[in-house]
Amino acid sequence: MLPLEKIFDIRNGYTPSKTNPEYWTNGTVDWFRMEDIRMNGHVLSSALQKVTEAAVKGGRKIPANSIALSTSATIGEHALITVECLGNQRFSFFTPKAAFADMVNMRFMNYYFYKVDEWCKGHLFQGNFNSVDMSALKQLCVPIPTTSEQERIISILDCFDALCNDLTSGLPAEIETRTKQYEYYRDKLLTFKEQ
């Protein structure tokens, strides 16, 4: 168990000035917002909005395979971002430090961050809008199982995720289960003891 700030570089997002068209016209850099998670889920490879390279402060984008965690306004939502990007100020981004890059599978962390989401909802500052207690969040300890254990957990959770969220695999499995259940009860209801 290690604190988040030991494992990850943590950066805040920002919104480039909307009054400067140089930042927004013909953008090529993905700029993530809550709408991206709402529309496209918890693994994102493209943002609904893009900004230009001129909008990148100090030339530093958020590295690919970082987790965006909503830490203000809408609390307790996250996504694994698989591309270099920027994001708005509602997000804090978690990128593995070099010392942990080979120890942390970000797909595992993406699943674990559902627990972090719940923690965030219970550790808020109330003001003009809700925000997470970032000092406490940075100290939140998370597990780092072996890489093989992380892979095992990912494999299991990927299967459950597909059954719950993928119509091509989940729906046929559910139909098959319900068909067997129907046949079982049909046979029970239509079987009579001879008198």
Rounded distance between C-alpha atoms, residue 26 and residue 31, angstroms: 13
**Average of pLDDT values for 107-126?**
92
- Residue in 129, 113, 31, 53 with CA at minimum distance from that of residue 80: 113
Angle at 142 between CA 102 and CA 14, to 5 degrees: 80
Q: pLDDT digit string (tens) for 73-113?
A: 889 899 999 999 999 999 999 999 999 999 999 999 999 99
- Residue in 151, 150, 177, 134 with CA at minimum distance from that of residue 5: 134
Rounded distance between C-alpha atoms, residue 14 and residue 88, angstroms: 4
Q: Are 30 and 86 in contact (CB under 8 A)?
A: yes
Q: pLDDT digit string (tens) for 52-65?
A: 999 999 889 999 99
pLDDT at 181: 82
Lowest-pLDDT choice from 11-20, 75-84, 128-137: 128-137
